């Protein structure tokens, strides 16, 4: 459909250029033929044809203009010397060709700028290096008409390059794993800061995996270092499926992509260092709270382990898994405001103590809210004590009105509480806890999450008839 539309657009443009040539010819004839000023207006349709139709369109328009300009003196009864006709024809041809080439070059630069902008946006929009590097490898293939691309990161301690992202390469080819620099002269050159071009990697001894490349259909290779300042992080490889000489434009673009990849890796490493510091701080805070009640020591770590198992079974996105991890670690942070008696739940609690216990999710929110990077975990912390049947706290939400991550956290929290118990109530066995979780489905817990949680722990859910499938909770809740 798009091809037909383009053909129609080209025909329509050609007709428009033809009419414009005819109009210029008429004006030039009325102005006295080739001796008049309107003869110069032929450049307008030539330039337009070059811009809209490319080389061929510009050349055809130039020849048409030269022919029409040559006929003007004949119509006026004043034959023009052949030399003048030839000079005008050559000039029109040169203008048409050069204009088309200039417009093509401008269009190429525009596409290059758009590609670089897309990669830059990806670098700025995400602090996850895997996403950025995948975008870079895909874009590198598309703009160079290559067959495949890959990025390998340098592990200096092991003297090898490890796959980090790829596009167009099969799993079988990637399964060859890391590349040891001692086995790959071309990668040693790239890590030393040089750009390496191989016309046929199937026969060049500098390429270590020649047989695998031949089976994959890879022929020519361009390898560039990923560097930031003097620090080299790895290499960017671009493969073609036939013998290919990489143009200056392609090398320039790929060098820009390699620079963007290096920035992405640097930013991601800084980000990971920062998050690691956050995580250590958060973990220390959770342990400080649990130290008030030694009986619950380790509760947050166990709940975190359970929610991550359930999250993986639900195939949650990495960002959701990260939120779950922080939420599980901090879900009881509000208990810092409870008395030792309330934490231990020894005997009957007073109305005030019971109210404080039910308020601890909100106390936790008030503690976490000022920390901007923890804002995604607030809902899970706030609502992890809500129940599917609406009998929970602090807001008595029910069903899918409870955020999915809070429902996940609620399942894991209940299971660990059943297993570990409290000073007032001893923990129960694994089988008893599993039975209690099954009974809580549809009452305290999301009935769609319970069987998935049991399978995640290595226990089969009770059998169901085909007419009663387990409900799967929405993943984007």
Least confident of 196-200, 229-233, 348-352: 348-352
Q: Is the pLDDT of residue 459 over 70?
A: yes
Highest mean pLDDT of the ranges 74-83, 126-135, 144-153: 144-153
- Average pLDDT (123-135) is 69
462 is a domain residue:
no
- For the chain, percent of residues with pLDDT exceeding 70: 75
Between 340 and 371, the more confident residue is 371
Q: Is pLDDT at 386 greater than 90 in this prediction?
A: yes
Element (H, E) at 251: helix 248-290
Coil, helix or strand for 42?
helix
* Same domain? 322 vs 373: yes
Is the residue at 334 inside a domain?
yes
- 430 and 320 in a common domain: yes
Is it the case that residue 443 has pLDDT exceeding 50?
Answer: yes
271 versus 312: the higher-pLDDT residue is 312
Q: 242-281 burial string, b = 16+ CB within 10 Å, else e?
A: eebebeeebbebbebbbbbbbbbbbbbeeeeeeeeeeeee
Q: Within this chain, do residues 42 and 172 fall inside the same structural domain, yes or no? A: no
Please report, for the domain that includes residue 393, its CATH number.
1.10.3210.10
Asked whether residue 440 is domain-assigned, the answer is yes
Q: Does one domain contain both 302 and 422?
A: yes
User: What range defines the domain where residue 29 resides?
Assistant: 2-112
Under the banding of pLDDT at 50, 70 and 90, the label for residue 450 is: very high
Cα 294 to the center of its chain, rounded Å: 44
Whether residue 471 is contained in a domain is answered as: no
Which of 23-37, 196-210, 443-457 shows the lowest per-residue confidence on average (mean pLDDT)?
23-37
Instruction: For residues 224 and 242, give the distance between their C-alpha atoms in angstroms, rounded to a whole number.
Output: 19
Average pLDDT over residues 398-404: 93
Rounded CA gap, 57 and 3, in Å? 18
Q: Would residue 166 count as lying in a domain?
A: yes
Overall average pLDDT of the 183-192 stretch: 85
Distance CA 53, CA 11 (A): 10
Is the domain of 358 the same as that of 436? yes
pLDDT band at 449 (very low <50, low <70, confident <90, very high): very high
Is the four-CA dihedral 302, 305, 306, 307 of positive or negative sign? positive
Confidence of residue 465 (pLDDT cuts 50, 70, 90): very low
Same domain? 403 vs 312: yes
Same structural domain for residues 248 and 297?
no
At 454, the pLDDT band (50, 70, 90 cuts) reads: very high
Number of other CB atoms surrounding residue 58 within 10 Å:
30
Query: Which residue, 101, 40, 96, 107, is CA-closest to 69?
Result: 40
pLDDT of 258 reads: 79
Given a contact cutoff of 8 angstroms between Cβ atoms, the answer to whether 394 and 359 are in contact is yes
Mean pLDDT along residues 123-141: 73
Confidence band of 472 (pLDDT split at 50, 70, 90): very low
Asked if 460 and 454 touch (Cβ cutoff 8 Å), the reply is yes
Q: Which ranges constitute the DSSP H helices of 162-217? A: 171-174, 185-191, 210-216
State the Cα–Cα distance between residues 114 and 131, nearest whole angstrom: 18
pLDDT digits (tens, 9 = 90+) for 225-280: 888 777 888 888 999 988 888 888 778 778 877 777 777 777 777 877 777 787 77
Residue 474 lies in a domain: no
Domain count, the chain: 3
Does 155 share its domain with 253? yes
Banded pLDDT at 476 (limits 50, 70, 90)? very low
- Predicted confidence at residue 353, as pLDDT, reads 60
356 and 435 housed in the same domain: yes
Judge if 155 and 93 occupy the same domain: no
**Domain annotation covers residue 301:** yes
Quote the pTM value.
0.52
Task: Verify that 20 and 89 share a domain, yes or no.
Answer: yes
Considering the domain architecture, whether residues 370 and 416 belong to the same structural domain is answered as yes
Residue 144 confidence (pLDDT) above 50 = yes
Which pLDDT does position 473 carry in this prediction?
A: 46
- Written as one string, the DSSP assignment of 106-133 is HHHHHHHHHHHHHHHHHHHH---HHHHH
Instruction: State the DSSP H helix or E strand holding residue 429, giving kind and residue range, or none if neither.
Output: none
pLDDT, residue 398, reads: 93
Q: What is the maximal distance between C-alpha atoms in the chain?
A: 121
- Residue 471: the pLDDT is 43
Q: Which CATH number fits the domain that encloses residue 171? A: 3.30.450.40
- Among 202-206, 313-317, 400-404, name the one with the lowest average pLDDT: 202-206
Residue 306 pLDDT grade (very low, low, confident, very high; cuts 50, 70, 90): very high
* pLDDT score at 463: 40
């Amino acid at each position: 459909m798009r091809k037909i539309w383009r053909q129609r657009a080209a025909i329509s443009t050609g007709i428009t250029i033809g009419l414009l040539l005819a109009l210029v010819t008429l004006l030039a004839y009325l102005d006295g033929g080739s001796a008049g000023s309107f003869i110069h207006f032929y450049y307008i349709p030539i330039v337009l044809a070059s811009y809209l139709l490319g080389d061929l369109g510009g050349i055809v328009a130039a020849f048409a203009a030269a022919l029409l300009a040559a006929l003007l003196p004949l119509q006026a009864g004043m034959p023009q010397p052949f030399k003048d006709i030839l000079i005008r024809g050559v000039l029109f041809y040169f203008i048409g060709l050069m204009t088309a080439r200039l417009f093509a070059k401008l269009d190429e630069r525009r596409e290059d700028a758009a590609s670089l902008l897309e990669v830059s946006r990806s670098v700025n929009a995400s602090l996850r290096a895997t996403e950025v590097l995948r975008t870079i490898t895909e874009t590198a293939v598309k703009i160079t008409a290559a067959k495949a691309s890959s990025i390998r990161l340098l592990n200096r301690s092991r003297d090898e390059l490890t796959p980090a992202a790829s596009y167009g390469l099969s799993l079988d080819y990637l399964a060859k794993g890391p590349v040891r620099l001692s086995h790959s002269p071309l990668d040693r050159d790239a890590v030393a800061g040089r750009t390496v071009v191989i016309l046929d990697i199937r026969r060049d001894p500098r390429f270590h995996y020649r047989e695998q490349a031949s089976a994959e259909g890879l022929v020519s290779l361009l390898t560039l270092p990923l560097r930031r300042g003097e620090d080299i992080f790895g290499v960017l490889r671009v493969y073609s499926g036939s013998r290919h000489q990489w143009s200056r434009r392609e090398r320039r673009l790929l060098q820009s992509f390699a620079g963007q990849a290096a920035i992405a890796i640097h930013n991601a490493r800084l980000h990971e260092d920062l998050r690691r510091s956050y995580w250590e701080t958060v973990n220390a805070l959770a342990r400080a709270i649990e130290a008030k009640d030694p009986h619950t020591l380790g509760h947050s770590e166990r709940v975190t382990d359970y929610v991550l198992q359930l999250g993986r079974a639900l195939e949650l996105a990495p960002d959701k898994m990260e939120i779950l991890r922080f939420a599980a670690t901090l879900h009881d942070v509000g208990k810092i405001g409870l008395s030792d008696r309330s934490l231990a739940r020894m005997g009957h609690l007073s109305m005030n103590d019971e109210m404080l216990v039910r308020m601890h999710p909100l106390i936790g929110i008030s503690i976490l809210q000022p920390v901007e990077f923890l804002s995604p975990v607030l809902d899970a912390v706030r609502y992890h004590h809500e129940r599917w049947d609406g009998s929970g706290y602090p807001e008595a939400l029910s069903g899918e009105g409870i955020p999915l991550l809070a429902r996940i956290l609620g399942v894991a929290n209940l299971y660990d509480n059943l297993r570990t118990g409290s000073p007032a109530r001893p923990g129960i066995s694994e089988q008893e806890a599993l039975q209690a979780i099954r009974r809580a489905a549809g009452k305290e817990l999301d009935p769609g999450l319970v069987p998935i949680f049991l399978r995640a722990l290595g226990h089969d859910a009770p059998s169901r008839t085909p007419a009663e499938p387990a409900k799967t909770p929405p993943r984007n809740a």
